[in-house]
Amino acid sequence: MPILVIAEHDNSEIKPATLPTITAARTLDRDVHVLVAGENTQQAASAAAAIHGVTKILHCDNAAYANGLAENLAKLIVTLAPSYSHILAPASFFGKNVMPYAAALLDVQQISDVTAIENEDTFTRPVYAGNAFETLQISGTPKILTIRPTAFDAVRAEGGAASIETVQSAGETGLSHFVNQELTKSMRPELTAADIIISGGRALGSSENFTALIEPIADKLNAAIGASRAAVDAGYVPNDYQVGQTGKIVAPNLYIAVGISGAIQHLAGMKDSKVIVAINKDSEAPIFQIADYGLVGDLFQILPELDKALG
């Protein structure tokens, strides 16, 4: 049986988190199909068809899926489920929202946030904020998994030539209604897909300091900006900047933590980064225990120096 990947998209573009999910699906050596459900999604369906290693796109263009409402999308997934051995989605806010709803309708226990696929029924996932890893074996079909995007490489977004098959809408449930969205506008790379991230904590002291001290460095490094929960709660940056167990899980090549002490919950979101730099005035801060390079000092002196040193 083939594997179905539920694409996360904004109707025109396929979101980056979908690509590692396809890589995860391909480790099982079966045909991989991708569901693109939404409204006015011709462009997203074409983009999905070009993804390397995908054999078929299931395309469902209907107002019921315009805003990714979980109830409607889960119902559609349930109608498609009998043809698939595994159904995967990225463990983003999108995948976490819809997949358990579909799993319960199918009477299946979902496996969340998978970081390794051992074989078709054995998977590894983090528990306790990434302080332990559980390897488990599940029986029954289909297997519903959400995939931690940072744990798998992204598949190439081009070079594929999948067929596109139109599928029927499963109808509106009418249980929930979309009102509006307020997206944080940013010209920077998306946090979960960025090569370099510079994150600030409460020690920055204000929103103005974030702008004055962090942004110029992020500009020079083409980095995304992240934050600790303390910085978000203090209102220095919007909450979708938060890195951690309850925010976003990131694993960039370089993570620069500025004025972040390194609570368990923050580390859960970034400790798989390739290189970690910590800048903190407290030499005892837990962040130094996982940092590859640590610099003890006052961030108000260090950040302008760093900005200058980067030319």
Partner 1 sequence: KILVPVKRVIDAYVAIRVKADQSGVETANVKMSMNPFCEIAVEEAVRLKEAGTVTEIIAVTAGTAQCQETLRTAMAMGADRGILIQTDEILQPLAIAKLLKAVADKESPQAILMGKQAIDGDHNQTGQMLAALLGWGQATFASKIEFGDGVVTVTREIDGGLETLKLDLPAVITADLRLNEPRYASLPNIMKAKKKPLDTLTPADLGVDITPRYKTLKVTEPAARKAGIMVESVTELVEKLRNEAKVI
1 or 133, CB closer to partner 1?
133
Distance CA 117, CA 147 (A): 10
**Any residues with CB less than 8 A from the CB of 1 and at least 6 apart, and which?**
30, 83, 84, 85, 141
**Minimum separation from the CB atom of position 228 to partner 1 (A):** 12
**Minimum separation from the CB atom of position 189 to partner 1 (A):** 13
Q: First and final CA of the chain: distance in angstroms?
A: 55
**Minimum separation from the CB atom of position 100 to partner 1 (A):** 4
118 or 165, CB closer to partner 1?
118
49 or 232, CB closer to partner 1?
232
Q: Helices 70-80 and 93-105: crossing angle, nearest 10°?
A: 50
166 or 289, CB closer to partner 1?
289
**Minimum separation from the CB atom of position 154 to partner 1 (A):** 16
168 or 283, CB closer to partner 1?
283
119, 107, 248, 49: CA torsion to nearest 10: 70
**Minimum separation from the CB atom of position 2 to partner 1 (A):** 22
Distance CA 196, CA 213 (A): 16
Instruction: Report yes or no: 287 and 257 within 8 Å, Cβ to Cβ.
Output: yes
CA nearest neighbour of 199 among 235, 226, 232: 226
